[in-house]
Amino acid sequence: MVKKEFKIKNRQGIHMRPANEFASAMGEFTCEVTVVCGDNEINGKSLMNMIAAGIRGGSTVEVVCDGEDEEKALEKAGELINSGFGEI
Amino acid sequence: MKKYSGVPVSAGIGMGKAFVYKENAYKDPGKSDNGENEQSRYRAAAETFGKECILNAGKIKESAGEDAAKILFSHASVVSDPYSVSNAEKLIGGGMSPEEAAKKVWGDWKAALLDSPDPLTKERAADADDILKGILTALSGQSEEDIPDGCVLVCREFTPSLAAKSEKNAAVVAEKGSSTSHGAILAAGMGIPCVMGVDIGGIEDGDEIICDGNTGEVVISPGDGERKKYEELKNEYEKSREDVKKYAFMTAESGNGHKISVMCNAGNPADIERCISSGGDGVGLFRTEFLFSEREYPPDEDEQYSVYRDAASALCGRELVIRTLDTGGDKKIPYYSYPREDNPFLGLRGIRYCIKKPEILRIQIRAILRAALFGDVRIMLPMVTAEDEIIKVRNLVAGCRRELRREGVKVPENVPVGIMIETPAAALTAKELSRHCDFFSIGTNDLTQYIMAADRGNAEVRELYDTMSPAVLRAVEMTFTAAKEAGIPCHVCGEAAADEELLSFLTELGVDAVSVSPARIAQTKKVLFLKP
């Protein structure tokens, strides 16, 4: 299992478009992807769960990947979040 | 014979027998005793609905286009999302019936979407109701009734799922919805005449019904004379429709070669798209209330900026007149506070409200100034009554420009600031006001209401509410005279601007631009062309 903390950089947080981008990218990996935000454990492969969690810009999340391709998945997750999903 | 009057959202006239769409009465079995079985019942229902959506998306793509189909594809993807399925199963495992669980899961989903600061995400909230209805129908094991060809569909809400079955309807009459709802966009895309906001309680299956999507009139069990009148109107409309289309992308001129822009009124980003595809010469009124409503906190500068910027760049240099927040009166925003007023329509509304709360206006003006780099952007103030109001806002605009420059943000040299002429005071003192304005735009709806002291929605005084009455026309004339003397353009926005009689009056006054709903652009241009 690997994990890392990230800060959500785009101001509007995880709304429809970023959530879709993140969930579809994570869907490519076989490992489990969990996004921890406060007390909330979110399935990183679920568009709905990502949106329903209402992750705001500026908040800190921890991405936890567990499974065969966990390293690659965490790397991709970081890339997406740090790019601000093209919104910064 | 009964007559109703609703909101016309898709042009054309349709007549036929009413088909009243009944929403299923769901039997709620209450507490579930067979958890596992009930969970698979939910899964099966979600799957059935998802498949149906994909099937319908294929159908609707032909008739209503890619965007309409996308709505149904996204329905299919969220019903199969592991989050919605596992949440429903968890609730059912805890003893809920699948019906109750569906209501909870999709109700929560709607709330989550509404909570998003992103306007596009928020817009999707309406879809949650459609999905819930679809799953409940699938759970009830009933298949949706087929809608007979050529009928006038009468429904509570015209949803994307209903639209997929409505290709051969003569018309649609709906109780809920407005010109910006998904249903309205679908009906217009499919070219089906549609009127919304009609109380459908008194309409029975098989009633003969006429739906006039041009005026919003709905006639039940018409007499022979009435039927004949509408048949003629329908033929005339259908003949002219093909004829009208060729005018959409032409430039209108009045007899002496004076160019008249036919722009459109927009209430959200989708309307901007519609304006462009219907041949609009610009957006003469971009209402900004949609950015503020249905949420729990106001949009920040960046959010507003991105919406204005996208609109300006989509219009490729065509004019974009952004009206600053018009709140108060009957338009209240949940997270702002309002005084108690005995007569809100004569109270703190429009620019009066924003002058009292300059911080709201400051953020909006900064966002507009930044977006102005991307096109021909103008600022318009609603409900102005006195010179002092314009001076205050102008000072605020100048302050915002200095602030932005100090921060190193690029802002164009000159962003025109104009006002709506919609109070008698503004029309009467147009000469004085013109000294502080770069343009005028006459808002016919409120101007008529305030000049005639008659509420548009009050049936008792409807006869008084007449834009063509001498008092209103004189106010319009005074405004034009003042604008001409000051050398500033004068526009007219409001649905009345599409009226043939008023248009001919306006061209005589030398109107520079009118702004109407996207559906009326081609017709308005045609009238301007054929004017002697």
- pLDDT per position as a tens digit, B62-109: 766 666 777 788 888 888 888 889 899 999 999 899 999 999 999 999
Instruction: Check CB contact under 8 Å for A45 and B82.
Output: yes
What is the per-residue pLDDT for B532? 56
The arithmetic mean of pLDDT across residues B5-9, rounded, is 87
Asked whether the predicted pLDDT for residue B529 surpasses 90, the reply is no
What is the per-residue pLDDT for B331? 82
Instruction: Check CB contact under 8 Å for A51 and B118.
Output: no
What is the per-residue pLDDT for B180? 59
Active-site entry in B151, B155, B182, B400? B182
Could you tell me the pLDDT band of residue B172, with boundaries at 50, 70 and 90? very high
* B81–chain A Cβ distance below 8 A for any pair: yes
Kindly report the length of chain B: 532
Rounded-to-integer distance, Cα B304 and Cα B375, Å? 16
The residue with greater pLDDT, B487 or B38, is: B487
Asked whether the predicted pLDDT for residue B397 surpasses 80, the reply is yes
**For all residues of chain B together, what is the average pLDDT?**
88
DSSP B201: G
The arithmetic mean of pLDDT across residues B355-363, rounded, is 95
- DSSP conformation letters of B62-128: HHH-HHHHHHHHHHHHHHT-HHHHHHHHHHHHTT--HHHHHHHHHHHHHHHHHT-S-HHHHHTHHHH
CB-CB neighbors (< 8 A) of A51 in chain B: 112-113, 116, 121
What is the per-residue pLDDT for B259? 85
| Assessment of whether the complete model's pTM goes beyond 0.90 | no
What is the per-residue pLDDT for A88? 66
What is the per-residue pLDDT for B143? 65
What is the per-residue pLDDT for B271? 81
Helix, coil or strand: residue B336: coil
What is the per-residue pLDDT for A65? 96
The arithmetic mean of pLDDT across residues B205-215, rounded, is 93
Lowest mean pLDDT among A10-24, B176-190, B493-507: B176-190
Instruction: Check CB contact under 8 Å for B82 and A51.
Output: no
The arithmetic mean of pLDDT across residues B406-415, rounded, is 92
Q: How far is A52 from chain B (nearest CA, A)?
A: 5
What is the per-residue pLDDT for B67? 66
Could you tell me the pLDDT band of residue A47, with boundaries at 50, 70 and 90? confident
Instruction: Check CB contact under 8 Å for B77 and A47.
Output: yes
The arithmetic mean of pLDDT across residues B271-292, rounded, is 90
Asked whether the predicted pLDDT for residue B28 surpasses 60, the reply is no
Lowest mean pLDDT among B29-33, B110-114, B405-409: B29-33
What is the per-residue pLDDT for B126? 78
Asked whether the predicted pLDDT for residue B173 surpasses 90, the reply is yes
What is the per-residue pLDDT for B490? 95
Could you tell me the pLDDT band of residue B354, with boundaries at 50, 70 and 90? very high
The residue with greater pLDDT, B489 or B494, is: B489
* A76–chain B Cβ distance below 8 A for any pair: no
Could you tell me the pLDDT band of residue B61, with boundaries at 50, 70 and 90? confident
What is the per-residue pLDDT for B179? 66
Rounded-to-integer distance, Cα B61 and Cα B185, Å? 13
Could you tell me the pLDDT band of residue B284, with boundaries at 50, 70 and 90? very high
Instruction: Check CB contact under 8 Å for B118 and A47.
Output: no
CB-CB neighbors (< 8 A) of B85 in chain A: none
Asked whether the predicted pLDDT for residue B32 surpasses 70, the reply is no
Nearest to B186 by CA among B210, B159, B165: B159
* A88–chain B Cβ distance below 8 A for any pair: no
B182 in active site: yes
The residue with greater pLDDT, B462 or B35, is: B462
Q: Could you tell me where the DSSP H helices lie in B315-380? A: 351-356, 358-371
Nearest to B324 by CA among B380, B373, B372: B380
DSSP B351: H
Asked whether the predicted pLDDT for residue B262 surpasses 90, the reply is yes
B194 in active site: no
Asked whether the predicted pLDDT for residue B175 surpasses 60, the reply is yes
